[in-house]
Amino acid sequence: MRASLCFLLGAVAAAGCAQMGRLSPLAPLERSIVFQPDPYPVGDWQPTGLGHEDVWFETPDGAKLHGWFVGHPQPRAVALFFHGNAGNITSRDLILRQLNQRHAVAVMTFDYRGYGRSEGDPSEPGVLRDARAARAWLAKRTGVGEHDIVLIGHSLGGGVAVDLAAKDGARALVLSSTFSSLPDVGAHHAPLFPAHIVMTQRLDSINKIGRYQGPLLQCHGDADRVIPIELGRRLFETAPGPKRFVEVPGGTHNPPWSDEFHGALRDLLASLPPPYR
């Protein structure tokens, strides 16, 4: 997420578009600020030593999406990683390495529509459809049930992961540097404008997470200037199931993850039943 969201809110409010929702002429501008993809060929598409395979799958509405899968001979868990609002999967290879090599996780990540090599244009309904299609592919590839997949989301990807876990369940939910809702982020950056009325892209995690009863691990840096830690804590406090919050002193918005968080993730994975029965 990027702080330029405040400029959008000012423009929309000034234009008097708050009541028009998705019909607002500035709705495409909002989507372009919430979703900031790097299309192919931006990035390193052949990272050395990752050992990944290219993944192609299609959503029910016909978008052809691309991702990476990194297998493991004896996985402790099968995980699906949802990245943030900017870039593409090529800037997430460190996370894939750590999950796979440090935590013995078979892991997949993918680009939402419009990102990287994936087709289409991103929007909230679209990326949520993308998430379900990605999980279905991963379950089939690994031979586990869709509900036996660990969902891991960073920043905007946390909102995607919460939606999937709340509606469909998950083996566990892991969130880093995420928010209670997109309008809450907008209101933080532009407190004088009516973000909760204006914004059409919402990812309203705080009103969804109560339906998820499984284990939650959440981390957030106390120096995050993009999504303040207070919004992460607000979401965490609403979650009803077994949960743990790791505050990272001096931590900013983006990985690398702290050693304390890696330790908490190790403990979480060790507490889960094996992915294969």
pLDDT given at position 272: 95
Each domain of the chain, given as residue ranges in start order, spans 49-192+201-271
Q: How many percent of the chain have pLDDT more than 70?
A: 90
- Positive/negative CA dihedral, 62, 129, 144, 99: positive
Q: Are strands 105-110 and 64-70 parallel, antiparallel or unpaired?
A: antiparallel
Please write the tens of the pLDDT for every residue from 182-197. 999 999 998 987 889 8
DSSP code for 198: H
Q: Are strands 105-110 and 86-87 parallel, antiparallel or unpaired?
A: unpaired
What is the pLDDT confidence band of residue 129, given thresholds at 50, 70 and 90? very high
Give the residues across from 109 on adjacent strands: 68, 81
Both tokens of 102, joined, read 């440090």
Longest dimension (CA), the chain: 57
pLDDT given at position 62: 97
CA angle 201–205–207, rounded 5-degree value: 105
Contacts with 92 (C-beta within 8 Å, 6 or more apart), sequence order? 81, 83, 109
* Residue 117 pLDDT exceeds 80: yes
With contact defined as beta carbons under 8 Å apart, do 243 and 216 qualify?
yes
Task: Name the architecture of domain 49-192+201-271.
Answer: 3-Layer(aba) Sandwich (3.40)
Please write the tens of the pLDDT for every residue from 130-148. 999 999 999 999 999 999 9
Please write the tens of the pLDDT for every residue from 33-82. 899 999 999 999 999 999 999 999 999 999 999 999 999 999 999 999 99
3-state secondary structure of 257: coil
CA angle 116–117–122, rounded 5-degree value: 65
- Positive/negative CA dihedral, 30, 34, 35, 38: positive
